[in-house]
Each structure stands twice: as C-alpha cells, then as structure tokens.
Structure 1
C-alpha cells in the first residue's frame, strides 16, 4: 500500500482489514500487538485453518525519518501450535537505511538488527517522536480511543508518558539533592573557617610568648658568658695543678717500671741460667740479630691472632644481627595479632555505641546489626537525619554562646599573659640560684681534691728517696760485668741457632714447592686424559652428523670448520628470510586487492538492489521484458 499526501482514505466493508492496516503500522513502529489479539495470537492467521503447526508473517514499511531520508522497517513474526497451545513470537526486527539515514550516528552502517540494538528505541529516535505519542495519538486503536475519558490517575500517567514529565521530575530531584549536598559542604567549610581563625589567634599568642622567651634566653646566655670569663683564670690554675700532678705520676710510674724491670731482669737471668744447656758462643751482634728475628716471628703470630679475633668478632656481630631480625619478626607477628583482636573489639564497641546512640536519639532498630551488617547503612542514614536536625539547634545555641565566650576569652588571655610573665621570671631566678649553688659545690670538691693530692705528693717523695737509696745499695752489691758477659754468650748461641733454623726453613720451603709442582703436574695429566676421552666419545657419537655436515673427514681444527659451515647455513637462512618477506609483501598486496574487489562487489550489489526496487516500483507486477517490448513498439 502506498500512502499519498496529504490524506489517504481507505474504504471497505466490515472485516475487510481496514483496522488491520493501522494495527500493522503501529506494530511496525512500536512492536506492540493490538488490543484484543490475545498477545498477538489472533493477529496472524490461525494455523488450525490450514492444518499447520506454525504460520509465519512479515510486515514491511518504508517511511521517511525526521531528516527526510528513506528508512525501511521489517518485522517477522511467528504463531506456532504446540500441544494444542498457541504461542506468538517476534522472530526478527531490522531497519535498512536506503538513502543514508542516520549514518553519522551509526558509523555508516547499512542496517540495524534487533539482536544488537533496541529497535523500538531506534525507530522513535529516527522518527523524532516518542513511543507514547505513536501509541496514544498517531496510531491510537479504536478500542483505546476513549482514553481521555479514563480515570484521573490513568489519564495523568498517559499525559506524563506523552510529555516526558518523569525525566523532568528526575532532573528536579537530582538538583534538590545536589543543593542539599552543597549546603552541607558549605556548613562544614564555615566550621573549618572558624576553627582556622581560632588556631590563628592561638598562633599569634604563642609567637608573642616565644619572642619574650627568646629575649630572656639571650639575657641568660649573656650572664653565662660573663660567668665563663670569670671561671677562666680558675680553670687555668686547675690545669697547671693537673699538669704538675700528671708529671709527678709519670715520674712515679717510670720509677715503678724501672724497679719491676730490674726485678724481672734478675728473675730472667736466674731462669735462663737454669734453662741454658748449651751456652751461646757467638758475638753480641749475632745474639741481637737472633733476638730480632725471634721478635719478628712473634709479631707475625700476634698479627695472625688479631686477624682471627677480628673474624670471630664479625661472626658474633652477624649472629647478633640475625637474632635482632628474628626478634623484630616475632614482634611484628604479635603486633598483627593484637591489631586483629583490637579491630574485632572495636567493631563490637562500635555496634554497641551505635545502639546506645540510637536509644539516646529515640531511633528504633528492628534487626540485629551483628547478624545483618548490611542494614547498618539504613540505621546510619536515620542517625544522620537526626544529627542534622540536632545540629541546626546546636548551631543557634553555639552562636549565642560564642559571643559570651569571646568576651571571656579576651579577659582570660590577658590574665594568662600576666601569669606567664610572672612564672617565667620566678623560674629564671630559681635556675640562677641553683646554678650558683652547683658551682660553689664543685669548687669545694676540687679544693678538697687538691689538698689530698698535695698530701699524697709528700708521701710519694719520701718513698722515692727510700727507693733511690735501695737502688744504689743494690747496684753496689751486683757484679754487672759478669752479667754482661753471660748475656753476650747467650746472644751468640741464639744467633747460631737462628742461622741453622733459617737453613732448615729454606730446605722445607723448597721441598714444599717441589711437592706442589708434582701434584699440579699429575692433575694436569688427569685433566688432559679426561679431555682426550671426551673428544673421542664425541667423535664416535656424532660421526654420522659430522659426515653429513663436512664432505671430507676432519682430523684437527674442528672449531674453524664448524664456523665455516655455520656461516654458510646463516647465509642460506638470510636468503630464505628475504624470499619469505617478499612473499609476505605480495600476499599483503593481493589481500588489499581482494578487499577492494569485495567492497566493489558489495557496492554493485547495493546498486543492483536499488535498481531492482526502482524497476519494481515502475513495473509493479508486469515483467521487465514485456515493458521493454511495449516501449519499443
């Protein structure tokens, strides 16, 4: 049926299908079955009449969208009979764009299917008319044409759907919600501003106090510098006294050392005379050289000992560090357990506090929050609503109290400043008094020490005189020449022993080096035998592969021959890769040509379809060949 503008009249008897035309137009645009069709079961031919299990039907409609472009709408439906039960089903819904309708929005698609897009929404978008207007105004069924006379509630729903009032209501609700949130944020920011102003006042007061304290500190430092200058001559005198005491102690220590050395020399001489079996017959120089060599060896042994002790101390430190790490890990584990327990306890306390808070605010809780934690949000929303109401009341009271508090705060600040001034002056005086007491006590203790040191000096002088007298008497009684002769003999014997020891040491080192060389030669010989065995095993195992790789048998220089073969194979692989790349480029060019041909074929098919539709519009039911013959005649 082709509808003409401005009006198309359809005449016919009852039951000939006039209403069916309107119902098909409505179904094509909205996808809703007509009223009284039992959800579409009686909208299609009954399959019982034809003795079939299912009957197919299709509605095609060609319209112009709001831009004036042609759009073809096709809906396919099916009525099937299963176990004496009828069922209606919409099989497919498609939109075909004949002259580029909606291409800018649909990315140059030729058609839309109901499997990927909601066709009802897409049609209303293209037509520029809502679904409610199509159903209730443009294609209103005669059975539903009396909807303006329905009840007020139903009539309101119809008008809301036609004019889209629900969307405006949603937008208004959203604006109201955003305004509430903005007001709450504004209140919070005002409170923050008040808090910041209070902090600023406190900071200014503290800066003033700090400046005053800084001035007092500078005055105290000046007093301390004066006291230090007064103490300098006293300290200089004390340093002189300490130097005198140090020198006296040094001389006493030297005397004690000399006495002990003298005694030790006597003891050593006696022990050496007892231990010496063969007296040293060399000169004193040889004996001194022997003794120096012995001292060098002893120093080397001591150095080794210190190195071993250092290694042992490092090992001990590392063990201590590892123990500390283990202890830290145990502490972290205990802390994690305590945190978990504290979190559980905090959760229980929070639930208790919420319940108590609800009781105080007279809010009823219908469920157990421990078993149903998801309802905590609802309870918190109720609490927030109550808090907002209480907050408004509190703000009014707070504003009244703040005015009174400000006047009181000014008086309190003045009193605090006076109080801090007096306290600081008192503390400064107490500190000066304590420092003077300490200085007097330290001076008294030092004077007592000086007196005791003077008495000790006198006693030490008496003892030094006595020891000098004893030392002189001992020197007179001892025969020093005999002791010197004995020492010279012992030095000579030590030098001879040292020479013999050096010779033996050289022989031992030579023998050790020879043993090392013999061991190294044996190891090298074993390694060479192993390598020869491995080479022989590899040759026997890979003889076939070597024969394939190398045309002539190889007796030596395997590495060079392998490199030559490797270079040849690498060149062949490069040639093959280049050929493969050229083949890929050709394949890509052929693929591009194939895609271009496919696009040309699809374009030609579209043109063929368009031409077929034009032929169908011109020819109607008569074949094209007959029309050509008529046009020629």
Structure 2
C-alpha cells in the first residue's frame, strides 16, 4: 500500500518564496490532523497534495492565483516548488518534484509549468524520470495504485467540491462511474463480447474449412489410386510399343531397299525417255538441215578439218586486227578527250579575255566620251573626233592640269580679294551698325525728352488754366511755355529722322550688294569643284587603263608557255581562232574514223558467228 511521508512547499499561495520560507510537512501513520485558523494554509496543503499526485490545479484557479502573488513579493517573476516524498504500492521510496512560475507584466499574470521530475530508489540507486521524457501524471497514478478520480474526488477532495454526493443524479452517476471505473468495465464487457463474436466467426470458418479439407483429402486419395492404375497401364503400353517397334525395324529396312530400287528404276526410265526425245529431236534437226542445205559436202573429215582450221586462222587474224583497231580507237579517244579539255580551257580563257577586252573597250569609250565632254566644257579644241590617241590623252591631261592650276590660282586670288572686300564691308557694316545704334539711342533720348517737355507743356497749360486770374503768373508761364517750345523745335531739328532712315536704307543696299557678290563667288567655287571632280575621274580612268593593261600583260605572260608549246609561237586572236577551228576538224575526223572501226568490228563478229554455224552444220551432215 502506498503512503505519503513528507511534503515541502515554497512559493505557493501564502507560503513565501525565500529559502527560509520553505515549509516541510511530515505525515504520520495512521492519521494526520491539520489544525489552524482561517488563512493559515490548511486548504493549500490539500491543494499541494492534489497537484503533486495528480497534476490538477485547484477548482476555479487558473494557475496564477495558485502561485504566490508577485506583487506581494515585489518581484516580476515568482517561482514555486512542491516536493513530495512517498512510498509506492510496492513499498519502494519515491519522490516527485513539480515547479511552476508566475510572471507579471503590467496587470497581466502569466502562469507556466516548469520541469517536473520523479525519483525512484531501487536497489540503493536513484532513477529519475523527467517530464521531458515521460508523462509524470500517469507515472504517479501507477506508483500510488489509485485512480485519478479517487485522488481528486475522495482522498484530496477540495472543500469547494466536497458536496458532490448531494449533486444531481446525472452528475452523481458520472462521479461514481469515474470513481469505480464503471465505464471501463462496460467497455471491457463490450470488448469481450466483440471478441467472442469474432472468435465464433473464426471457429465457424475453421469448421467449414475443415469440411472442405476432408473432402479434398478423399478426392486426393481417389486421385492417387487412379494415378497408380494409370501408371500400371502406361507400363504395359510401353512394353507393347517396344515389341511393336522391334517388329517394325525389319519392315522399315526392307521398305527402304524397295524405295532405293524403285528410285533406280524411275531414273532409268527417265533416262530412256530423255534419250528417245533427244533422238527424235536430232532426227528432226537432221531433216531440217538436209532440206535447207543447198550442197552437201562430199569430202573427207580431214578436208573439212582443214577448211575449219583455215577459217579459224582467218577469224583470229580479223580478231587481231579488231584488237589493234580498238587500241587505236582508245588512243584516239584519249587524245580526243585531252584535246576537248584543252579546247574547253582555251574557250574559257578566250571568253574571259574577250570579256576583259570588251570591258577595256567600254572603259576606253567612256574615257573618250568624258574627255570630249570635258574638253567641250572647257572650250578646248582638237578633241572632237574619236578615238583619242595616247599623245592626245597626255596632251589633254597636261592642258587640264594647267587649266586647273590656273583656275586654282584665280580662285585663290578671287577668294583673297573676296575675303579682303568682305572684311572691309564687314568693318563698314560694323561702323554703320554702331552709328545706327548711337543714332537710335539719340532718337530714343530725344523722344523721351520730347515726351517730358510735352508733359511739362500740358502741365503748364493746366496750371495756366487754373491760374488765369494771376497775370504775373500767366506771363511767367507764357515765357516758360515759349522756352519749352523753342527747346522742342531745336530737339526736333537736331534729331532728323529722315536722314537716319536714308542711312539705314543705304546700309541695307550695300548689304544686298555684298550678298550678290558672295553668291557669285559661291557659283565660281562650285565650278572649280566640278573641274576638280572631272580631274579626279580622269585620274581614276587613267589608273584603270593602266591596271587593265597590266592584267592583259600578266595573262599573256601566264599563258605564253602553253600557247608556245602547242603552236610553236605566241599567236594573236585570229591565229588562235584558226588553230582551234583546225583542231575541231581533226577531232571530228577522228570520231568518224572511230565509228567506221566500230562498224568493221561488228561485221567481223557477225562473220565469225556465221562461220561457226557453218562448221557445226557441216559436222552434223557428215555424221
């Protein structure tokens, strides 16, 4: 039987959090009585026992009220600890330690369960189990040997829940069911009933399977007996087959001999039939030959053989001649192919040279046209008739060069004069512009002064009208008015606007004249640029001509050796065309000769075949 020995409390409800406030309570056997005034902590001890054994908090407590109030301890966090020393159902000593904490943040309290440990003494050794590794509540219930409902509702029943026997029927029944584990008993009965049903079903299946197995056993016995009978019959059948095979072997040997003899007889029969048919065919051929032959050879076999040998010699001679002709034909074919290749190369080279010559001719025509157009533009005489010779072109080049130099000098002089005039005109324009600016400024000042004087005149007139009664004042004003009018007239005379306008018009006219001069000079510059372009084109044409002549010279030097080796000299265009035409005629003649040789060869082959037919017919007649 399990017993509670000691319990220490620290930091729970009214128990302090200091080490000196740690309270140790010893429980006696068989009874311990707790006596004290209200608030001394009697209920707290029962709550600590309940929490230490079952892990449940007191009813109506959220945990924070179970721990010492941090506000009373003047701390933000308070830790509580309960340690219980007891003897388990097996009489072994055990201890359990449960810790918790309460944290205050503002007006909010936070409860937290800390690590819980069970220590068991076994064979003088301590064995501990932490809440991190196992479930402490289940271990405590197992060690005490009492269910959790008994601990909570009977042994450590809180005073607030002590009236549960007087509660309603349903709640009371639930309490008793939990205390006496009636629900578990009912579940056990239900489990047993279901297990019995399953086992009964399994027994019925096994009985049915047993019946099937008995039937299968009887069938297997019958099959074994049938197999034994069939094996005996098979052995007897094998013996009978062996005897029959022994009787069949001599018959098969005899049958094979008969087949061989029959095959020989059939072969002889076929040979006889073949010989008969051959005989008939030869007789028919002999009759046909006798009917077709005009004359029958009456000589002996030696004479016929001599005639045959002479014919063979004639055929061999013709074959030899045919072979020689074939060799000549092959040689001529190779020569023809070589000449065709040479011809093709020469034709290609001729076409390329002709193309280059045509291009060169076109370039010369274009050059002459450009020279004629440029000479007519430059008013140069002696360049109206085409084509131009080299001396004419060189002379034209020198004249154009001299003309270009003269034009360049003239253009340079004109440009220098123009720049000098432009500088002078620009200087005069600047002076006139400065003068104009000064005059405009003077006019503006005079206008401002005139406006001021007119304003003063109006003021004076206003003052005069206002002071008509004062004669002295009137005379003064009249004198001032006459003075102002004189100043106004002098100002108008000094600032002659018409003269200024005339000067401005003169300056604009001079500017227009300078613009016309500048446009004329621009046209002359364009003309000079055109001359420069023509000179550049002429230089390009001259270089092109030189390059083409160099290319023609290189082509001649590259093919000089080939043409000299073929012809013995370097031909011109007409000679090369004549040589190619002659070679073409030779090739055509060679082709005709080869065709004739081929025809002769075919005729010789036909003659040899006729001779062989004649000899075979003669032998047949002789036989």
| TM-score normalized with structure 1 length | 0.34
